[in-house]
Chains A and B, each alone.
Chain A
């Protein structure tokens, strides 16, 4: 089969395929998801979601079990969205005694109806540095929320949480407005700092939250006592809201959208690799079994029947529970079960082709067995297996996610099944955290649908008997 021949067959296939609307939809989704995989680094909101999915530190500034940001559109009281402010304005000033004061100011535009859960300052430093964080409110008042003296820094990340460190300052602040009698009910510990910080200053502010909307200046000051040997870098502020990201967060504060995007490539890899390898093995197995016939055929059929009479998922679960395989091993084990899918069809077709006159002619010309198989039989039979290849992708994805759902997945990667496992563990169903349960399964279903569209369309073209009149 030469190149022109292949080209012709592909163009012929395409002209048929173009008429299948569902096939085209499937193709479009497949291309879209491949694009997402290629541009994953640009799409991921949390760049290190792949490597740090199970790191606690990486996600610590998010809020736990936060609904998606767009749920604000359906609620009366708007919740603040988690934002990260990176572009701080830097000011440097020299004080007496050779001390350098570095101030970073971040502008935060506050428009929500509820207070943020926390405001967290991050900065990296070297040397001995006292830090101070303060906030200038839209009404002109400035609150000094906390100090921290860090010694012997060597590039660690300093994390100052206003919620923790600013309680006393907030208590001092309400003293200006509340009466003595009212103050007695409160102490520094019973107040939430942010409920004060973002509140309209008035009597009764400790009791009721009335948002003071406008521009807040979030400031972090670092005093470089010894400017030669110390410096600060990479400041940023995270304002933790009660809604977050495109798809919210789970109960360990992870951004679910990042997890789902990171899981896409694994779903595709698991599905495509498993089905491609197993269908190729199945086709070769069927052809060899049919071509050689006799004892070879009997033995191969026997092996086929044994593999075919094992229930896949239970065996897969037990193997995973005992050997704790990584993702590549899991794919290999799935291939061990999946190759049987296409054997019988291929075998019966190969039995027919074997009797064709051109095979006989090739034999008479002295062609070797391998030549007949690879030159004359494989190229004809491979296209027919494309449909079964596409149709076995969904089951590979579902099996992997079932194994992961039991908590037996590869712990070095993120897959949709593992996210669902975490959702089960975190009682997401009971708590009604739908943004944790719905999207992963929906994506698995969409992947399945995509390949079903492709597979059924190809099936219709390759087996014209099923066509509707």
Chain B
């Protein structure tokens, strides 16, 4: 039953996420508590400033009282294990607390708001790039598989290997240098012009700002996809039913897009989602080069400002997105290829 398979997979994904967050809570416990304590000190100091007409002794007593209250509130006086579990629970319920320096566009200091603002911007950039990459990659991969060992196959395979270890952020730097400062046809940074235009122009402006980041991701990304597509399709093309289809005189394009691509769909979908995930897990900081205000850019800012709560929130959300991606991957794969569900032991 697909229902049970799906339920099982989702539950397993949630469980994995809980465990990862737990490990992180243990790993980053010291620094988290340091930030909390300094936050408490800051709050106590701010509250003391507001007080007037008080004796020094009374002020001190008040400060001590407030400090103890807050430490109790954040459970910093509890045993180690309880603190860890409490923090894990807070992270799981997206209760990241307040940032130390970074503010959201409306000036709020809630970490969830800050990260939540960045999330859709990253998603739109990366998914759009993935879609373009996949389309280009599949077309190129099919062409490569049609004549394996041909000149197109060999040159593109060579190019695949050449871009294999190319850092995305470096390609971004080069593209900016060339297109922004030499040719001056694209804006250097950000997501919108200031002030953002209204109506339809808003989207055109967005696209104009998005072109260069998209170009960077696509230029690096589609080679690998086309190489994998080629290998998958090459295997399928050797099957008997393809030969039978060809023998029946079915046009080559129909064989390619109808017969072959349908069989190749499950692994192709896996690969597409995986390539999207791998760019989240490996190329996300390239946003910083373009000042594209997404999750990757947030890492840059949080590292530069040493804003620990934002860094932690950003990480928790990125891991979550990655996790959701993995779950979706298995779900679509199970949907496309029924054999997976029956075997569902693992």
Query: In the bound complex, what is the Cα–Cα distance between A466 and B234 (angstroms)?
Result: 8
Is B162 touching A309 in the complex (CB atoms < 8 A)?
no
Q: Does A305 contact B (CB under 8 A)?
A: yes
CB B20 to nearest CB in A, in angstroms, measures 6
Q: Does B167 contact A (CB under 8 A)?
A: yes
Is A468 touching B149 in the complex (CB atoms < 8 A)?
yes
Query: Which of the 9-residue segments A91-99, A223-231, A249-257, A317-325 touches chain B?
Result: A317-325
Q: Which A residues lie within 8 Å of B149 (CB)?
A: 468-469
Q: Which A residues lie within 8 Å of B20 (CB)?
A: 306, 309-310
Is A429 touching B161 in the complex (CB atoms < 8 A)?
no
Q: Which B residues lie within 8 Å of A394 (CB)?
A: 164-165
Is A402 touching B176 in the complex (CB atoms < 8 A)?
no
Is A444 touching B280 in the complex (CB atoms < 8 A)?
no
Q: Which of A306, A313, A318, A447 has the most CB of B within 10 A?
A: A318
Knowing A311-B281, A311-B322 touch, does A448 contact B28 (C-beta < 8 A)? no
Is A406 touching B285 in the complex (CB atoms < 8 A)?
yes
Query: In the bound complex, what is the Cα–Cα distance between A424 and B160 (angstroms)?
Result: 27
Knowing A398-B165, A448-B165, A449-B164 touch, does A313 contact B285 (C-beta < 8 A)? yes
Is B318 touching A311 in the complex (CB atoms < 8 A)?
yes
Is B173 touching A437 in the complex (CB atoms < 8 A)?
yes
Query: Which of the 9-residue segments B48-56, B95-103, B200-208, B296-304 touches chain A?
Result: B296-304
Chain B contact surface mostly = helix
CB under 8 Å from chain B, chain A span 437-467: 437-438, 440-441, 444-445, 447-449, 451-453, 456, 465-466
Q: 1/0 per residue B311-325: CB within 8 Å of A?
A: 110110011001100
Q: Which B residues lie within 8 Å of A465 (CB)?
A: 235
Q: Does B153 contact A (CB under 8 A)?
A: yes
Q: Does A301 contact B (CB under 8 A)?
A: yes
Q: Does A434 contact B (CB under 8 A)?
A: yes
Q: Does B16 contact A (CB under 8 A)?
A: yes
Query: In the bound complex, what is the Cα–Cα distance between A312 and B285 (angstroms)?
Result: 12
Interface size classification for chain A: 35 or more
Query: In the bound complex, what is the Cα–Cα distance between A397 and B318 (angstroms)?
Result: 22
B303 is contacted by which of A310, A406, A444 (Cβ under 8 Å)?
Answer: A406
CB B62 to nearest CB in A, in angstroms, measures 34
Is A312 touching B170 in the complex (CB atoms < 8 A)?
no
Q: Which B residues lie within 8 Å of A438 (CB)?
A: 174
CB A425 to nearest CB in B, in angstroms, measures 10
Query: In the bound complex, what is the Cα–Cα distance between A406 and B304 (angstroms)?
Result: 8
Chain B's closest residue to A311 (CB) is B281
Q: Does A248 contact B (CB under 8 A)?
A: no
Q: Which B residues lie within 8 Å of A35 (CB)?
A: none
Q: Does B181 contact A (CB under 8 A)?
A: yes
Q: Does B271 contact A (CB under 8 A)?
A: no
Is A429 touching B173 in the complex (CB atoms < 8 A)?
yes
Q: Does B326 contact A (CB under 8 A)?
A: yes
Q: Which B residues lie within 8 Å of A301 (CB)?
A: 346
Chain A's closest residue to B32 (CB) is A322
CB A141 to nearest CB in B, in angstroms, measures 45
Q: Does B169 contact A (CB under 8 A)?
A: yes
Is A313 touching B284 in the complex (CB atoms < 8 A)?
yes
Chain A's closest residue to B295 (CB) is A314
Query: In the bound complex, what is the Cα–Cα distance between A312 and B306 (angstroms)?
Result: 20
B280 is contacted by which of A305, A311, A420 (Cβ under 8 Å)?
Answer: A311
Q: Which B residues lie within 8 Å of A430 (CB)?
A: 181, 188
Query: In the bound complex, what is the Cα–Cα distance between A452 and B300 (angstroms)?
Result: 29
Knowing A407-B303, A468-B148 touch, does A452 contact B165 (C-beta < 8 A)? yes
Query: In the bound complex, what is the Cα–Cα distance between A145 and B321 (angstroms)?
Result: 68
Query: In the bound complex, what is the Cα–Cα distance between A311 and B24 (angstroms)?
Result: 13
Q: Which A residues lie within 8 Å of B326 (CB)?
A: 309
Is A322 touching B308 in the complex (CB atoms < 8 A)?
yes
Is B164 touching A429 in the complex (CB atoms < 8 A)?
no
CB B287 to nearest CB in A, in angstroms, measures 12
Query: In the bound complex, what is the Cα–Cα distance between A406 and B289 (angstroms)?
Result: 10
Query: In the bound complex, what is the Cα–Cα distance between A465 and B157 (angstroms)?
Result: 16
Q: Does A142 contact B (CB under 8 A)?
A: no
Query: In the bound complex, what is the Cα–Cα distance between A321 and B304 (angstroms)?
Result: 9
Q: Which A residues lie within 8 Å of B312 (CB)?
A: 318
Q: Does B152 contact A (CB under 8 A)?
A: no
Chain B's closest residue to A401 (CB) is B167
Q: Does B124 contact A (CB under 8 A)?
A: no
CB B325 to nearest CB in A, in angstroms, measures 9
Query: In the bound complex, what is the Cα–Cα distance between A24 and B167 (angstroms)?
Result: 23
Knowing A437-B174, A448-B166 touch, does A306 contact B161 (C-beta < 8 A)? no
Q: 1/0 per residue A394-409: CB within 8 Å of B?
A: 1101110110011110
Chain B's closest residue to A298 (CB) is B346
Q: Does A294 contact B (CB under 8 A)?
A: no
CB under 8 Å from chain A, chain B span 140-187: 148-149, 153, 157-158, 160-167, 169-171, 173-174, 176-177, 181-182
Is A447 touching B165 in the complex (CB atoms < 8 A)?
yes
Is B166 touching A445 in the complex (CB atoms < 8 A)?
yes
Q: 1/0 per residue B257-277: CB within 8 Å of A?
A: 000000000000000000001
CB A330 to nearest CB in B, in angstroms, measures 15
Q: Does A432 contact B (CB under 8 A)?
A: yes
Q: Which B residues lie within 8 Å of A313 (CB)?
A: 281-285
Q: 1/0 per residue A421-439: CB within 8 Å of B?
A: 0011000011010100110
Chain B's closest residue to A403 (CB) is B285
CB B275 to nearest CB in A, in angstroms, measures 14
Knowing A430-B181, A452-B164 touch, does A309 contact B322 (C-beta < 8 A)? yes
Knowing A317-B303, A441-B173, A469-B148 touch, does A322 contact B167 (C-beta < 8 A)? no
Chain A's closest residue to B308 (CB) is A322
Is A445 touching B318 in the complex (CB atoms < 8 A)?
no
Q: Does A38 contact B (CB under 8 A)?
A: no
Chain A's closest residue to B144 (CB) is A468
CB B31 to nearest CB in A, in angstroms, measures 5
Is B311 touching A321 in the complex (CB atoms < 8 A)?
yes
CB under 8 Å from chain A, chain B span 24-78: 27-28, 31
Query: In the bound complex, what is the Cα–Cα distance between A438 and B149 (angstroms)?
Result: 33
Closest 9 CB pairs of A and B: A448-B165, A394-B165, A441-B170, A311-B281, A452-B164, A468-B149, A452-B161, A468-B148, A445-B166
User: Would you give 15 A-B contacts (Cβ < 8 Å), ordered by A?
Assistant: A306-B20, A309-B326, A317-B285, A395-B282, A398-B165, A401-B167, A407-B304, A424-B173, A429-B173, A429-B176, A432-B182, A444-B166, A448-B165, A452-B161, A453-B161
B interface with A by C-beta (< 8 Å): 13, 16, 19-20, 27-28, 31, 148-149, 153, 157-158, 160-167, 169-171, 173-174, 176-177, 181-182, 188, 231, 234-235, 277, 280-285, 288-289, 299-300, 302-304, 306, 308, 311-312, 314-315, 318-319, 322-323, 326, 346
Starting from the known contacts A314-B281, A398-B167, A406-B299, 5 additional A-B residue pairs (CB-CB under 8 Å) come to A306-B20, A317-B285, A406-B300, A407-B304, A430-B188
